[in-house]
Structure 1
Amino acid sequence: MTSTVPRDPGREPAFEWAHNGLFLRFERGEDQPVRLVRWATGPGAASVTAPMAIVDVSTAGERRARPTHSLLLWGAGPRLRYTGHDVSAGELRISQREPESGLEVTSCFRAAGPGLQIRHTVRNGSDADLMLLNVSSAIVAVPEGAHDLLWGESEWLAEGRWQQRPLKELLPNVNPAFHHGRTNRGNFGVTSHGSFSSGEFLPTGVLATEDGPSIAWQVETSAGWHWEASQNEGTVTVGVYGPTDLYHQFAQRLAPGGEFTTVPAGFCIAEGGRDAAFAALTDYRRAIREMRPVDERLPLVYNDFMNTLMAGPSTEKELPLIEAAAAAGAEYFCVDAGWYGTGNWWTDSGDWREVPGLFTGGLIAVIDAIRAKGMRPGIWLEPEAVGEKAAAGRDLPEAAFFRRHGKRVNETGHFQLDFRHPAARAHLDETVDRLIAGFGIEFFKLDYNVNAGVGTDVDADGPGAGLLGHTRAFRDWLSEAQRRHPEVLFENCGSGGMRMDYNVLSVAHLQSTSDQQDFRLYASIAAAAPASVAPEQAGNWAYPDKSMSLEETAFAMTAGVMGRLYLSGFLGGLGGDQFALVREAIALHKNWRHRIAVSHPVWPLGLPGWDDEVIALQLDAGNESLLAIWSRGEAAEIALPGLRGRTIEQAYPVALPEWKIRMTEGAPVVEVPAGPAARVFTVL
């Protein structure tokens, strides 16, 4: 149901919008911009929000409204005035105009599952150029309370290290009344740098409380982004931004009639604290995905890279891997890097022609062997990269590459293609179409292994704007490739999880969650991954090795079960009992994968710390759940009060000893042995 109130908004100071359980109320006035004053989950529910303007805009030459470290109230935003609104197809669009400059803003609120996707389009309605410096993607304020702020830190091989602290510790009370009523200047901000959108921090945050509704948000861009929390007059305001002048060297010139649309921001509210907020965000992520029938199969992929060939393929190496992967139950087999050029997987990238003589009988012989074992073939590409030795670096026009200060960007021997340029897109279209037509490829692992910096200043007023334009063009290219090839799956990988954002993940099938090769360390990455990506997209590597004990083998496989099992390793070299553990984990995952695709993540012991000795993740599918517990330290007893009234039974592995479980005050207590050891339980 969608409704607007009142009938004649031109005469009333407020209007409302209701859609599928979302209830929003906005106020407008002659002397203020449109403000969101109520956001609730039902007609009679209390509002989550405090009054706050819905958008802020900064242009060159503007003065700031107040001296703070925040991006809020930094320009023309406070002078915007309401000019109208309309509703259609689950969207509310609000129009405002800034009378002095003629700047116009149309704000779009799109319902998506339990949340809202918010973006703004800025138009220059004057007869002179305007230079945009910052435009908020979303601003939401809540009354001050007992909130915890959660943010995710990340780096290569150590993705998803979540932090949770009381907001009052991050934003101290400086007693502004004692200082003649001046407002707080501090804020807590999280910012990306360069083209790894999740290389340092994750574009997601949560403001959680057990005393009322919590809110969660994400920034949906592969370019620069920033979010911040600040205090002002009894409220806490969360501001979400794409690239900005201050942090990302962003600037966008608008000629008269020109427009700019912000990157989307996703916002959800939920009763029940941290896990409820992440559950709502999980369903929101599912709602914004562009799903195809081939995506819904959720096939199990074997990839020959991790702890296996490591970009050194050949026919002789691949054939035993193909044999063992099929026997284990893999449905796709992906040949990773090193199959092209002259065999140097790094400097040869970009031409995407197989290495002459590397494969006995040619690469097609490997592809045929994959099909002969009943699996579908996949292959690795790094579409935005051109190595120094590749002919593409000489043949493509100079404007098809990232450039700054008149020089081509060179990151450790890689040139960065700019997908705004038609020659860059045509080069990759030809590559993808040729590999599908010539080899019958049905799965592409699309990697991204360099941080190309702030962007490109070619055809851009600032390099941050150039990077944004490229990442938007790359997403469009990927969507178009899938429209041309609806039966082909595309994985998003960015040196593991270094570009893990829903600009790409809304159109990609799978996300590699890390390049971490130590199975003991992978447990914390796999357990935290559903905070950043829907569980059914979280490609957690499972790479058993003959050097592992049976307990270690089960530990390694558990990471894959609790997300999207991404198989690797020299499976043919495993002992019989080890291989049986691999097959058992795969069977359990296949039995659960479609329930995982509707599940919500729960962390019974809290979000995992990097060095935690015991880690737990529950994937709650309603009446049933999967619960994984990893032990990496000494023996311990683990109480699970969140499962009070429910029973747990060991589901994997059946061949290893059962962990002892007793009930205390109606809640399970698990006796966890010394690690490394892991078990998967069903929760009933």
Structure 2
Amino acid sequence: MRTWGDITLHFPTADPSTGAPGLELLPSAFAHRAQPPRTRIDEPAARHHPDTGPARSVEPLASAARAGDPLHEPFGGARTLRRSATEAALRLRSQQADDNDHTVTTELATGDGLALVHRVTRHEGFVRIRTTAVNEGDRPLTLDLLTSFTLTGITPFAADDAPAPGRLVVHRIRSAWSAEARLVSDTVERLGLERPYVNIGTVAERFGCAGSMPAAGWMPFVAVEDTEAGVIWGAQLAAGGPWQLELIRGRDGLAISGGPADRDLGGGRIVLGPGESYEAPEAVVSVVQGGLDELCARLTSAQSGHPRPGLERGLPIQFNEYATTWGNPTHNRVLALADRLQGTGVRYFTVDCGWFTEPGADWGRSHGDWEPSTARFPGGLAATARALRERGFVPGLWWEPETTGELSKAYADPEPHVHRDGAPVHVSARRFLDLRRPEVTGPLLERMAAVLKDFGYLKIDYNANLVAEGEVVRELTAASQDFIRALSARLPHLVIENCSGGGHRISPAYAALTAVTSGSDAFEAREAPVIAANLQRVLLPRQSLVWATVRADDTESDLVYKLAAGFLGRLCLSGDPDLLDEPAWRLVTEALTLYQRAAPVIDAGVSHHSGTRPADAMRNPTGWQSVLRVSADGTQALVVLHAFADPGGSPTVDLPLGHWTVSGALGSPLSVAGTRLRWQSPQPWTGAVALLSC
């Protein structure tokens, strides 16, 4: 065992002389409670069966399957590519610990040309795991499966298969357009992951993404909770393209693994020539004595070390005019809005889509030529950007660089686009540029640099999901990330927002490249606060853009409900601020002032979720929810509350120990007594915010 702070690593082996080691993570304070696994199944149904074997297997910490592999699992076809001949052939070549860089490197090899290099690196509260496949042979090899990580032996706190119903709970996060980050929690029984009564057969649950939107369907996240021991394991994959996560069980211990989507799930194959290597997406993995909130705080903390532009200090509030003009911006309308917003604390002003179309044209079918409309911006975009700067704003601009709309001249030329089955791929009135090719990316980069030199903020959008051969999609999404890197190097002053029809590219892979991430397109939907709260499980609030779209016909409670949601991430104002009457506008400006005061807690803290809203209720939620976010030093806290249909009673939120006072509030009265905050009898569809000091 190796202890790294409050995480202990254990590398068990089924057969120390030949077998590849597995990897277990345990909370250090609980490591002594791990149970030696039983050696044989002693249940009556198995007692007389000839194949009772060892009761617990060790899943190798890295695994692969090669094209043409015999599979040793008789009933796992189309469910898993684990249990392959390649996996069975893996042997430990070496394992070394480097205490200087806090890394354990394990090399596995098959003896016939394939080596897997697995590196686990220590960080505060989590580990990073990277696995590289190397072709050491003299002929090409093709991988149908490669894992980034595997955790074996869940749960180590039971000597058997933890048979108590409901003891092991699997947490996953579904995602769809304007329904991002829906928490789904299932028992292993509900997922069919109970062990077979004897050691025959394997049960598996594999899920992931096959296209170019890594959060279309599922987020690259999984957690398994031992509710009896009070311990939870989890992982996030830094996957920009096709990925998978897998739960597998053949004997007592459950295992979780993940990596690039395999051939069955994503059509992906990794072809390595002699001497070539491929590194699977990084996995951030942790274990904690606690619950889902504590685990997610650890996993998302891995995103906190990414470089941040200087403009990002203080979490600037943004105004984006999309939900104002709906793709019809003009110079005059932009400046009228800017005049209204002066002095409010709004710093970024983003001109969204449509700046390149003539009035009446469909922006979603016309992008790709990137010529600013002289009808909309008679003096050119540079003049509008200059006028915004004169009013104290950082001007921003929308762009969808990876696709071309079917009404653009760029769309008409099939040659620079991605092809499948001999024809350009077309999805939702778009074709996809092949960013793997320098002759495509070069001119695009030049065009963007020429326009964006006058801007300080860029919203990169991506509004269609490309599905093709797995290796093609993997290469294209890697090229997409390289393009963002190149753009950042060319225009280092830019603050970049990652958007993909809202949150379809929410992944650590993209969060590492951009300062801001679009959380959702739920511009003024009543489920917006549910989505924003849920997103904190996979994305730092300081990166998570949340729309607050204000309307002239909003009531005071409507405005508070919307504005309060903005405190769950990066507040993005939109709508009709210049049409609000003075009382309504005063309420908005008070909220913006409070947000600026709360920004340090939003920026760096730990969130705790509570309430009575059912976890699976999003479009039509009932009850209430709260998110308590406590600053890193424990001296400040932010509580964001929302009441939905039938909230019932007076919600209370438990606060950390200390003497708390309300230093700022938004919405109906909130009171603190000891370590409990009380919201007195909220009406349905209302919100409230409290900034607390200790």
- With normalisation by structure 2, the TM-score equals 0.87
Read off the aligned partner of 1:628 and give its amino acid letter.
V
Map residues 425-504 of structure 1 onto 2, 5 A cutoff: 425-437=441-453, 440-453=454-467, 455=468, 463-504=469-510
Does 1:351 find its partner at 2:406? Answer: no
Alignment map for 1:239-278 (pairs within 5 Å): 239-278=257-296
C-alpha distance 64-205 of structure 1, shift in aligned 2 (>3 A): same
> Could you say what secondary structure the match of 2:436 adopts?
coil
Q: 1:39 to 1:660 in 2, by over 3 A?
A: closer
Residue 156 (structure 1) aligned with residue 177 (structure 2): yes
Structure 1 residue 59 corresponds to structure 2 residue 71: no
Counterpart contact for 2:145–2:263, Cα < 8 Å: yes
1:420 paired with 2:420, answer no
Is 2:200 the counterpart of 1:186? no
CA contact (8 A) 1:227 1:241 kept: yes
Write out aligned runs for 1:582-661 (5 A).
582-605=588-611, 607=615, 609-610=617-618, 611-621=621-631, 622-640=634-652, 642-643=654-655, 653=665, 657-659=668-670
Distance 1:628 1:347, change over 3 A: same
1:363 is displaced (CA, Å) by 2.0
**Structure-2 residue corresponding to 1:13:** none
Would the aligned equivalents of 1:22 and 1:41 in 2 still touch at CA under 8 Å? yes
Equivalent pair of 2:345/2:596 in contact (CA under 8 Å):
no
Alignment partners' CA distance in 2, 1:240 and 1:120: 11
Cα pair 1:652 1:679 within 8 Å, conserved = no
Q: 1:362: Cα distance to partner?
A: 2.3
Deviation at 1:558, TM superposition (A): 0.5
SS in 2 for 1:600: strand
User: Which residue, 332, 337, 351 being the options, matches 1:335?
Assistant: 351
How many angstroms apart in 1 are the aligned matches of 2:239 and 2:438? 21
Q: Which residue pairs with 1:117 in the alignment? A: 128
CA distance in 1 between partners of 2:35 and 2:230 (Å): 8
Name the counterpart of 1:311: 327
Cα contact 1:637–1:669 (8 A) shared by 2: no
Alpha-carbon distance between aligned partners in 1 of 2:606 and 2:284, rounded to the nearest angstrom: 17
Q: 2:378 aligns with which of 360, 368, 374?
A: 360
Displacement of 1:525 after TM fit?
A: 0.9
Asked if 1:137 corresponds to 2:137, the answer is no
Q: 2:233 aligns with which of 215, 238, 242?
A: 215
Amino acid corresponding to residue 492 of structure 1 in structure 2: N
Matches of 1:267 and 1:204, distance apart in 2: 10
* CA–CA distance in structure 2, aligned partners of residues 279 and 209 of structure 1: 18
1:97 equivalent in alignment to 2:109: yes
CA apart distance, 1:298: 2.4
The aligned residue for residue 674 of structure 1 is: 683
Which residue number corresponds to residue 53 of structure 2?
Answer: none
After TM superposition, give the deviation of residue 608 of structure 1 in Å. 6.8
Q: Is the 8 A contact 2:173 2:184 kept in 1?
A: yes
- Distance change (3 Å), C-alpha of 1:348 and 1:93: same
- Retained in 1: the 8 A contact 2:25–2:287? no
Is contact 2:524-2:547 (8 Å) kept? Answer: no
Measured against aligned partners, the alpha-carbon deviations of 1:380-400 in whole angstroms (never above 9, x if no partner) come to 0111111223333356x82x4
Q: Which amino acid aligns with 2:72?
A: A
Q: Deviations 1:528-583 (Å, cap 9, x if unpaired)?
A: 11012111111011111111001110111011122111111111111112111211
The one-letter code sitting in structure 1 at the alignment partner of 2:362 is N
One-letter code aligned to 2:480: F
Residue pair 1:40, 1:46 contacting (<8 A) in 2 also: no
Compared CA separation, residues 485 and 60, structure 1 to 2 (3 A): same
> Residue type matched to 1:59 in 2?
R
The alpha-carbon distance between structure 1 residues 102 and 172, as it changes in their structure 2 partners (threshold 3 A), is closer
Quickly say closer, same or farther: Cα 1:246–1:430, change in 2 above 3 A.
same
CA drift of 1:320 comes to 1.1
User: How far apart are the structure 1 equivalents of 2:36 and 2:140?
Assistant: 36
Give the whole-Å Cα distance in 2 for the aligned partners of 1:153 and 1:672.
32
Deviates most, 539-548 or 216-225: 216-225
Cα deviation code 1:202-257 (max 9, x no counterpart): 11122124423211211211211111223332211111122210011111222222
Q: Give the deviation of 1:641 after TM superposition.
A: 6.5
- Deviation, 1:479, is 2.1
- Structure 1 residue runs of 5 or longer lacking an equivalent are 1-15, 456-462
Aligned equivalent of 2:11, options 15, 22, 26? 26
Cα gap change, 1:623 to 1:467, in 2 (>3 Å):
same
Change over 3 Å in CA distance of 1:478–1:92 after alignment to 2: farther
CA distance in 1, matches of 2:36, 2:192: 19
Please give the alpha-carbon distance, in whole angstroms, between the structure 2 residues aligned to 1:624 and 1:20: 26
Structure 2 counterpart of 1:36, from 23, 28, 41? 23
* Deviation, structure 1 residue 73: 2.0
Counterpart of 1:529 in structure 2 is: 535
The 1:485/1:129 distance shift into structure 2, 3 A limit, reads same
- Give the Å deviation of 1:505: 0.8
Instruction: Return the letter of the residue paired with 2:485.
Output: S
Deviations 1:183-210 (A, max 9, x none): 4x33233222322211211111221244
State the match for 1:284 in structure 2: 302
What is the SS of the residue equivalent to 2:475? helix
1:12 is matched with which residue? none
Match of 1:82, as an amino acid?
L
Contact 2:456/2:493 (<8 A) preserved:
yes
Gaps of 5+ in 2: 38-57, 156-160
* CA positional deviation for 1:316: 2.3
Give yes or no for contact 2:662–2:690 (8 Å, CA) kept in 1: yes
**3-state SS in 2 of match to 1:52:** coil
Q: 1:405 to 1:239 in 2, by over 3 A?
A: same
Query: Shift in Å at residue 43 of structure 1?
Result: 10
RMSD: 2.6
* TM-score, structure 1 as length reference: 0.89
Deviation at 1:624, TM superposition (A): 2.3
Aligned in 2, Cα 1:512/1:38: closer, same or farther, shift over 3 Å?
closer
Q: Which residue of 1 aligns with 2:516?
A: 510
- Secondary structure (helix, strand or coil) at the match of 1:35 reads coil
- Identical aligned residues as a percent: 21
Give the stretch that moved more between structures: 561-570 or 599-608: 599-608
- In the TM superposition, residue 682 of structure 1 has moved relative to its aligned partner by 3.2
* Cα distance change, pair 434–340 in 1 and its aligned pair in 2 (3 A): same
Whole-Å separation in 1 of the counterparts to 2:653 and 2:629: 16
Q: 1:78 to 1:406 in 2, by over 3 A?
A: same
Query: CA 1:362–1:503 in 2, change beyond 3 Å: closer, same or farther?
Result: same
Q: CA deviation at 1:136?
A: 0.9
Asked if structure 1 preserves the Cα contact closer than 8 Å seen for 2:65 and 2:86, the reply is yes
CA distance in structure 1 between the partners assigned to 2:184 and 2:35 by the alignment: 23
Q: Hey, what does 2:254 align to over in structure 1? A: 236
How many residues in Structure 1 have an aligned counterpart in Structure 2? 647
**8 Å CA contact retained: 1:216, 1:268:** yes
Going from structure 1 to structure 2, the CA distance change for 1:133 and 1:296 (only over 3 Å counts) comes to: farther
Aligned mates of 1:671, 1:647 — CA distance in 2: 20
| DSSP 3-state at the match of 1:222 | coil
1:430/1:47 Cα in 2 relative to 1: closer, same or farther (>3 Å)?
farther
